[in-house]
Amino acid sequence: MIPMRYVLRQCNDQEKIDSFLRQAKVGLLGLADDHQPYVVPLNFVWWNDAIYFHGAEEGRKNKIMYENPGVCFTVCAEYGTIADPVPAKTDTAYMSVMLFGKASPVADLDEATGALQAMLDKYVPGYYNQPLAKQHVNKYRSSYGSAAVVYRIKPDEITAKENPLNPESAFYPGRRVGDD
Amino acid sequence: MIPMRYVLRQCNDQEKIDSFLRQAKVGLLGLADDHQPYVVPLNFVWWNDAIYFHGAEEGRKNKIMYENPGVCFTVCAEYGTIADPVPAKTDTAYMSVMLFGKASPVADLDEATGALQAMLDKYVPGYYNQPLAKQHVNKYRSSYGSAAVVYRIKPDEITAKENPLNPESAFYPGRRVGDD
C-alpha cells in the first residue's frame, strides 16, 4: 500500500479474460461528460464478444453517451491482501479487465432480446420456464415515461492485469509481522 | 435486468456512507483523458473526510490527473440478485457511492504518512509492531525510477444509492419461477 512503482502483470490469456467477464456480476461504466468523469456500476453480460447492458432512456448516463459514446468499461475482482514485513510491499491480489470502445444503442429487436436473454441466463439461470418474448422486450423499450435502451460496447481494445494470491502470504486477522 | 426505468434509492445516511467507505476494499477511479474515459480499480482509504490512494509518478493515471484533476471515485458492493416472475423486475441488491472532486498530490509528508498509516490499519490491521516511519514514506516518494505519489480527493459532492436485499426474493441456484 506504500507508494512504490508496481510491476503490474499483464494478462494476455483471452480464454481467462472471457471466463472472467462471463462470471463477473458488476462492471463499471466510465463516461466523460465533457471533461467530467462519471463512473456507474452496472449489471452486464459479455456476449458475442461485446458488453451489453441497459439503462433508462431519460437517465444521466444515456444523455452523456449520446454526446460522447467513447467509454471505458472496467471489471475487477479482489482476492485478498498480501502481507509483507516491508510495508511498501503490502499488496493486493486481483484481476481486472478494461475495455475501451464506443457504446451504441441496440436498435435491432432480435439482438436486444438475445442480449437480455443472455443476462437472464447469467443472473437467474434456470429460473424461467420459457425464453424471453420479443414482445416483452419491445414493450419495455417503448413504455411511456420509462423507455429503456439496450447498449452494446464492441471493444476496440481490451487490457487485463492480474496479481494472483499466494495463499502463504495472504493476510488474515491476527497475522503479525513477527510470524513471517 | 430487462429494460425498465429503475426507481433508484437515494441514500442520505452519512453515517452509513462513512461506514461503507471505511470497509470497502476497492474503489474505481474515473478519469477523463481529454474526452476518453479511463477507469482504474484501486485500494484506498476514507480518512479525514477524503479519499486517499497512491500511484506511480510515471503511470498513466498520474499523467491524466496532472492534465485534468477532475475525477469521479465510485465504490460499490453487490448483495445478490432479486428474482421476480416478471423478467423486467429482475433486479440487483447493492450499495454504491460516487464522489466527485479534484485529485491533488499530497505534498505534506505528515499527511502522506498519516494516510498511508490509515491504509495499513485498514488492509493489514495489527500486522506491524510499530507505526510507519516518515523516512520510509519519504524514501518511496523519492525513489529513483519508481517514485510514487499519494493523492487526496476532497469530495465536492457525494451521492449514494442502495437497493437492499430482501432475503425472500433473493435468487439462489435451483430457484424456479414456479416456486414463487
Distance from the A132 Cα atom to the nearest Cα atom in chain B, whole angstroms: 8
Asked if A26 reaches chain B (Cβ–Cβ under 8 Å), the answer is yes
Q: Which of A118-132, B129-143, B161-175 has the lowest mean pLDDT?
A: B129-143
pLDDT at A143: 66
What percent of chain A has a predicted confidence (pLDDT) above 70?
A: 93
Cell readout for B83 is 428474482
Question: Using 50, 70 and 90 to split pLDDT, how confident is the model at A4?
Answer: very low
CA distances to A105, A118, B123, B176 from A114, in Å = 14, 6, 42, 21
Q: Which residues of B touch A39 (CB under 8 A)?
A: 28-30, 37, 39, 72-74, 98
What percent of chain A has a predicted confidence (pLDDT) above 90?
A: 75
Answer whether residue A20 shows pLDDT above 60. yes
The stretch A158-168 carries a mean pLDDT of 93
Average pLDDT, chain A: 90
**pLDDT per position as a tens digit, B29-47:** 999 999 999 999 999 999 9
Q: Is B126 left (phi over 0), alpha (psi -120 to 50) or beta?
A: left
Asked if B70 reaches chain A (Cβ–Cβ under 8 Å), the answer is yes
CA distance A86 to A133: 58
Neighbours of B115 (CB within 10 A): 25
Asked if A68 reaches chain B (Cβ–Cβ under 8 Å), the answer is yes
How many degrees, rounded to 5, is the angle at CA A83 between CA B61 and CA A176?
Answer: 145
pLDDT at B4: 37
CA distance B65 to B55: 11
Cβ <8 Å between B116 and A3: yes
Task: Among A34, A128, A174, select the one facing B177 at the smallest CB separation.
Answer: A128
Asked if B26 reaches chain A (Cβ–Cβ under 8 Å), the answer is yes
User: Contact, A149 vs A108, CB < 8 A?
Assistant: no
Asked if A131 reaches chain B (Cβ–Cβ under 8 Å), the answer is no
User: Contact, B39 vs B46, CB < 8 A?
Assistant: no
Regarding predicted confidence, which is higher, B14 or B147?
Answer: B14
What's the whole-model pTM score? 0.93
Q: Which of B29-38, B59-68, B100-109 has the lowest mean pLDDT?
A: B59-68
Answer whether residue A6 shows pLDDT above 60. no
Regarding predicted confidence, which is higher, A57 or B113?
Answer: B113
How many degrees, rounded to 5, is the angle at CA B112 between CA B58 and CA B19?
Answer: 105
Q: How many residues does chain A have?
A: 180
Asked if A152 reaches chain B (Cβ–Cβ under 8 Å), the answer is no
Q: Which of A34, A63, A65 is nearest to B70 (CA)?
A: A34
Regarding predicted confidence, which is higher, A61 or A155?
Answer: A155
**pLDDT per position as a tens digit, A37-87:** 999 999 999 999 999 999 877 788 889 999 999 999 999 999 999 999 988
pLDDT at B1: 43
Question: Using 50, 70 and 90 to split pLDDT, how confident is the model at B143?
Answer: low
Regarding predicted confidence, which is higher, A93 or B59?
Answer: A93
Residue given cell 424456479 in the structure block: B176
Question: Using 50, 70 and 90 to split pLDDT, how confident is the model at A141?
Answer: confident
Task: Among B4, B94, B120, select the one facing A87 at the smallest CB separation.
Answer: B120
CA distance B47 to B64: 24
